[in-house]
Amino acid sequence: MSLPPVPRASLPLRTALLAALLGPAADAASGPSPLVKAEQLQGRAETLTGGRWVPLRVPATVTAGLRTGGDGAVWTTLRNGTTGKLLLGPSSRLRVTGGRAELQEGRFLLLGPLSLTALGQPVTLDAGAQARADLGVGGLKRVAVLAGGARVTVAGKATRLKAGQAIAVGTGRVTAFREEEAPWYAPRLTGTGRASVQATRGPVYLTAGGTRTVARVGATLDPGTRLSTGAGAWAEVGFLGGGYLRLQENSELTATAGPEAGTTTLGLLRGQAWNVVRSGAGQPALVGSTLRGSAFAVGVTGLRKTFGVFAAATGNRATPLPNSALDAQAQTPLVLRLDPVSSPARSLVLGVTTQPGAAVSALVGSRVLPLAPVAGQPGRFQLAGASLPEGEARVEVRADWRGQRRTRRVTVVVDRTAPTLTGLRAEREGRLLRVTGTLRDLGTAQTRAGRLTLTLRLGTDTQTRRVAVGPDGASVLDLPLPAPPEGTPVRVTVRDEAGNEAYAVLP
């Protein structure tokens, strides 16, 4: 008696059996794409691995959980049929279950297309859509759509949302939504040195401490200051260390201290800004407030993206840059020529040639001495007689112009101490008059050996000699001169290199 034939398993069943037999090894061999992957990190963040929270190192696959510190932010990629992006803000947390991300606490920025859950409620974003989730921040538990459309299901009821709408995750109540004035994910542009207003057109305003004033050229954008433009207006902002931006019409930015010492960050709250670069350094780049969660470094060679998933759009024929005349000026390299500086000198006198409209100053220790434009001479600046303490002074001359800075350094000896004449005598020896004594220049002795100008006037006859002094500032005088008629007064004058003078009259 023959046994009945054993039926062959169908293809789906065989596949399932094979996967069950091979288990994790089969998954590893097939190499599936990670469902949640941390791509970029700023500040501190941790990932849950083996039941323990460990410091995050990117790139990394997130298999169980992810959380950020008070200064942390993490861009992640979510793959679940489609590929979207998720930004975890500071003090935020998510978990991963079955490869699906669930937002648990904190602040999040969502970029579609993606699908996830927020406090257990399904959220699906359309391609190109942007949304934010505030979970427990200020008592809020909501999902708000910033651009495009989304579907959020609360308690089994699906609700379709569009830009400007928010839904409460707990109740499903839909309300109108408007972004606050300074969202945490606003695009950030960081440059070296302080930022200041370089040029304006139309209604441009500075707001500081709740007071709004008309923005003036040269105004510094201190931390907490806002710069805004109205319809048809623009404002140009430059960083001292290089880098130049033009804030377009109906736009606003705010200044904060940068992430590193000596830097300034400008957050683009609304509108757009051009980054104007030096000639030959590349295309100008346009940054819009819709580039949420992005950060850029600003320099004379253009923008460099340091954080975020967006690239800055560049100018082209389809998007012509406005204000081409000022663009050409901004692309011109800054020059700074310093006139020869007198030293030793009684005071600091400087002459400078640079671009007209530049801000020129001299830094001496902690003192900042502004140089004034010379009337009728565009590009000429001067400092006339600034008083400094006696001794050696190191001077740094700076010129700032449209986001560029040039410096020149010089050392100046300041001397306001007059030389002294001691032990002077005039004695006749036959047909000669011998003048003897000691010359001393204490001012020169403080810094270096120098030379004195000695002038002897015998009636109407005048003789001038150059006398060297040693490191101690002293020189012994012994001069034989033709003897003048009896009763002729003898005047001895000594002058140092800084112009300080002393004299004595001998009988």
Q: Both 401 and 424 in a single domain?
A: no
Q: Both 410 and 442 in a single domain?
A: no
Is the pLDDT at 26 greater than 70? The verdict is: no
Q: Are the C-beta atoms of residues 273 and 245 closer than 8 Å to each other? A: yes
Which whole number is the average pLDDT over 295-318?
65
Q: What pLDDT is stored for residue 331 in this prediction?
A: 62
Q: Both 313 and 193 in a single domain?
A: yes
Q: What pLDDT is stored for residue 312 in this prediction?
A: 43
Which whole number is the average pLDDT over 459-470?
87
Q: What pLDDT is stored for residue 357 in this prediction?
A: 79
For 99: left if phi > 0, alpha if psi spans -120 to 50, otherwise beta; the answer is left
Question: pLDDT-based confidence at 403, cuts 50/70/90?
Answer: low
CATH number at residue 34: 2.60.120.1440
Identify the residue whose tokens are 């590349």. 282
Is the pLDDT at 471 greater than 50? The verdict is: yes
Q: Both 283 and 407 in a single domain?
A: no
Q: Are the C-beta atoms of residues 83 and 77 closer than 8 Å to each other? A: yes
Share of the chain above pLDDT 70, in %: 84
Is there a domain that residue 221 lies in?
yes
Q: What pLDDT is stored for residue 397 in this prediction?
A: 96
Task: Provide the residue type at 426 as one letter.
Answer: A
- The mean pLDDT of the chain is 83
Is there a domain that residue 153 lies in?
yes
Which whole number is the average pLDDT over 187-201?
88
Residue 138 contacts by C-beta under 8 Å, 6 or more apart in sequence? none
Q: What pLDDT is stored for residue 103 in this prediction?
A: 96
Q: Both 88 and 72 in a single domain?
A: yes
pTM: 0.59
Q: Both 205 and 154 in a single domain?
A: no
- Pairwise CA distance, residues 306 & 297, whole Å: 7
Which whole number is the average pLDDT over 474-491?
88
- Pairwise CA distance, residues 453 & 342, whole Å: 17
Is the pLDDT at 8 greater than 90? The verdict is: no
CATH number at residue 480: 2.60.40.10
Question: pLDDT-based confidence at 245, cuts 50/70/90?
Answer: confident
Which residues span the domain enclosing 101?
27-176
The larger pLDDT score, comparing residue 15 to residue 299, is at 299
What's the angle, vertex CA 200, arms to CA 210 and CA 362, rounded to 5? 85
- 414, 440, 474 — which closes off a domain? 414
Share of the chain above pLDDT 90, in %: 47
Q: Both 162 and 58 in a single domain?
A: yes
Tokens of 205: 């305003």
Q: Both 461 and 360 in a single domain?
A: no
- Pairwise CA distance, residues 79 & 101, whole Å: 10
Q: What total of structural domains would you count in the chain?
A: 4
Q: Both 31 and 90 in a single domain?
A: yes
Q: Both 408 and 426 in a single domain?
A: no
- 176, 201, 221 — which closes off a domain? 176
Q: Are the C-beta atoms of residues 77 and 90 closer than 8 Å to each other? A: no
Is the pLDDT at 449 greater than 70? The verdict is: no
Q: Both 59 and 104 in a single domain?
A: yes
Bridge partner residues of 73 (DSSP): 42
Is there a domain that residue 20 lies in?
no
- 142, 176, 210 — which closes off a domain? 176
Is there a domain that residue 78 lies in?
yes
Is the pLDDT at 429 greater than 80? The verdict is: yes
Is the pLDDT at 324 greater than 60? The verdict is: no
Q: Which of 130, 195, 192, 185 is nearest to 163 (CA)?
A: 130
Q: Both 66 and 166 in a single domain?
A: yes
In 336-428, which ranges are continuous DSSP H helix? Answer: none
Which whole number is the average pLDDT over 58-79?
92
Q: What pLDDT is stored for residue 411 in this prediction?
A: 93
Question: pLDDT-based confidence at 318, cuts 50/70/90?
Answer: very low
Q: What pLDDT is stored for residue 161 in this prediction?
A: 96
Is there a domain that residue 167 lies in?
yes
Q: What pLDDT is stored for residue 277 in this prediction?
A: 56
Which whole number is the average pLDDT over 293-315?
71
- DSSP output for 165-229: EEEETTT--EEE----SS-TT--EEEEES-EEEEEEESSEEEEETTEEEE--TT-B--TT-EEEE
The larger pLDDT score, comparing residue 405 to residue 206, is at 206
Q: Which of 352, 348, 356 is nearest to 381 (CA)?
A: 352
- DSSP output for 64-112: SEEEE-TT-EEEEEEESSSEEEEEE-TT-EEEEETTEEEEEEEEEEEES
Is there a domain that residue 201 lies in?
yes
Is there a domain that residue 228 lies in?
yes
Q: What pLDDT is stored for residue 1 in this prediction?
A: 35
Which whole number is the average pLDDT over 77-83?
78
Q: What pLDDT is stored for residue 284 in this prediction?
A: 52
Q: What pLDDT is stored for residue 460 in this prediction?
A: 86
Is there a domain that residue 39 lies in?
yes
